[in-house]
Structure 1
């Protein structure tokens, strides 16, 4: 693509924050300390988790950078950044979460394949850019459309990113045309993150943001948009990020038997304490994040400090008066996480548990064994922290 290149090696990687926990150097995959996630409602770009499949693309000339829109449409177009910036700008607060978040905990039950994420492969940001609905209207696709007259039913996003999983080809993913053309879905072609231009790690100069859906569908370093008849046939749609039951292993897996994962389930994590924490007896603040996909808000967060025998409801915080313009309906937090907090008296060693319930009444599963799968995705089981009390008088 003119204006942007996908390097063949890792010699020109961007500088990253030195506090990140690196899970893979080449390609670079890293997450912040869990305590950093609850230090602010919006996750700073340098502390937002980094999920990559190859070397980070380099923009050579922003003026020459463009995105092609083609496929089963009548009028293919090449859009430059100035064309996209002329469209109405929307700011959407959305949480992105890697499908492999909390994979390390799942692997303790039985080995899984994938990057060893802790609990911080998630972040919340204000994404600024053009709505995909407005972009597609430029090529004659109206809002709220299920199919084009040429049979297009899916929208495929193609990156300049080069991936070993695609045999050196580009990363790509797709969503349905009905979702892409629904203004309420708030799918963006984003060029800003928290009021600043995207940095290289997060897709500069342009990326897709699909709110409420696993991060794998929010393609970075966008090169092309293809209108196609069937879902994307790429590796990350057909042979990855699918949810299988615990009975399936690598010997009997049938990838075509499952649909690609899209919405992420209700999730909740304690961030103020590590998995095993030693404290002094007394009042303990328990705080963290909770989120659910598909635009479903968090109805409540329950916390137990006695291993699940009794529960208390945590207070929830979702800041709607952020210094960016919300959408026309004022629903700037429709897709965002909540931060929660509760203070409890703890006098002896115990297990602290947190679980969330979303607006549709969905509850996190109690045991990780019940959701174990060979790819280690969507570990949304109750989050458990072991607390040891250090009583100096004993």
Structure 2
């Protein structure tokens, strides 16, 4: 699935062909680390100047390996001959809303410059101003629970309304819910992807990627045409952490990639937040581990806003100002959720079952014991609750209550 047909915003700026060619050559030179390239740029001024230096000069500033990488003939990029790739990159960047950003550009995300090894070059789609906004990352499990998905959407919407851009990775589960919630808010979202900016992964998020390209921003450090590779996603997580002032983990198993993002954020001096859950839930174990290691426990979006310096009054003022500056249509999914909340209160057997569920998943046997309902009555109550969106069925014959904001 490609992003060639994604709707985009403003026109790309005019590019200097020789300068961009030099940036592309150095950014994608095999064996040249971003930190070494940044050191060389600082010493010599720009990519054309770096390429004109001798091996000895380059090795003196960086090392022999970096010098060899700079002076080596350009190789294929993702199987495409270098000259052909340059033409394709220029063609991609000439499309409205597509941008190739370098370390020398004022539009390069300033937050990434606080990293020791920011990518020398980024491919971006959409609203470049979002790349400079104060931001919070929301990440979590790809196999999230219904409650986790709802929490991610709700937190993202409130934080976006308060004026924070929400950064995530376009993955299934928590990432997607965070993007959708932020798009429902006033500020928007930034998707940092682990493929080329001309691809959409997973393909199921083609529609979501359209919306982000139109209303938010998409960002990649990988060459155009780069497919999804497992090795790329930890590096993608590094950019998610770098773009953000803090990272919120909604749900995560003990071996979740979200814990990598949290560790990287902590190493960069960013705040790490985690939502606690049931001690019996595998997707709470990663969050509880982070909390033991010093992450900040949050129960409401306001807890995150307080750490960002927002008082309740300033959060409301920021939300109002953001919505006035950029009014947003109400999506069908959001209108549906609001309509669900307007339903009459659940009572009778369904109310007893909802009370019995509490805040942790439960099996039919546990619910029967807690409510004294027989099988038929219990199944009927659960069906009513599922249809009203108050309860969701989980794997293993368990049920969980879905809290609505």
Interval containing the TM-score (normalised by the shorter chain): under 0.3
**Structure richer in helix, relative to its length:** 2
Query: Structure 2 length normalisation: TM-score?
Result: 0.25
Q: Name which structure has the greater RCO, CA cutoff 8 Å, separation 6+.
A: 1
Of Structure 1 and Structure 2, the greater strand share is in 1
In terms of Rg, which structure is larger?
Answer: 2
TM-score of the pair, normalised by structure 1: 0.26
